[in-house]
Chain A
Amino acid sequence: DAKTTQPNSMESNEEEPVHLPCNHSTISGTDYIHWYRQLPSQGPEYVIHGLTSNVNNRMASLAIAEDRKSSTLILHRATLRDAAVYYCADRSGGYQKVTFGTGTKLQVIP
């Protein structure tokens, strides 16, 4: 299984951009990179995923390094509702198992 590492916690001011990093140095060429977030007492919520190219959706953007050893989740304008634990995960392209990183607890300061 690929191993992913993330900072334990980060802070951001409200309405400012947030860049959440993830290292996945042992990722294989067919593994997808996924991001989820989890609010207290809730199940993980899908945020975004990609393979090689940068991806955008209504929630966030995902920037994937050219060598795919790292990725960055970008929240363009943090709101108080974005305070959560953000998990980077990898999913084998040919095998469906999703392995989660350690998670980053994001605190948004009003």
Chain B
Amino acid sequence: NAGVMQNPRHLVRRRGQEARLRCSPMKGHSHVYWYRQLPEEGLKFMVYLQKENIIDESGMPKERFSAEFPKEGPSILRIQQVVRGDSAAYFCASSPPISGNTIYFGEGSWLTVV
């Protein structure tokens, strides 16, 4: 029973390039969450998605960041025109559609912008 799968684990991008981070939730989980962790800081909520719907994107920066969770395939967090300040660990989590249940995290994608 595979856990939450994230790829790539490590990604290096030059300033101005695009970064795409993928997340496959656990089997049976239809809710996906993305969190960002800057170096030496805590976990900050970015966005919460269900299949084909963005439920809450209150933590997403207004520009350059977008997320999707299509009917088929993984959830994608897309960062356009990356800047050095985007360097961080990006964690995806998933949960089943049951209220109050815990969420389970993947191992993260570490983005380095050079």
Question: What residues of chain A have their CB less than 8 Å away from a CB belonging to chain B?
Answer: 32, 34, 36, 41-46, 49, 51, 87, 91, 93-103
Contact = CB atoms under 8 A, between A and B. Distances in A.
Nearest to B99: A93
B91 A46 contact: no
Contacts, number: 56
B91 A102 contact: no
Q: Which of A32, A97, A100, A102 has the most CB of B within 10 A?
A: A97
30 contacts: A34-B102, A43-B105, A43-B107, A43-B108, A44-B43, A44-B91, A44-B105, A46-B102, A46-B103, A46-B104, A87-B42, A87-B43, A91-B100, A91-B103, A93-B99, A94-B99, A96-B31, A96-B99, A96-B103, A97-B33, A97-B56, A98-B45, A98-B93, A98-B103, A99-B45, A100-B43, A100-B44, A101-B42, A102-B42, A103-B42
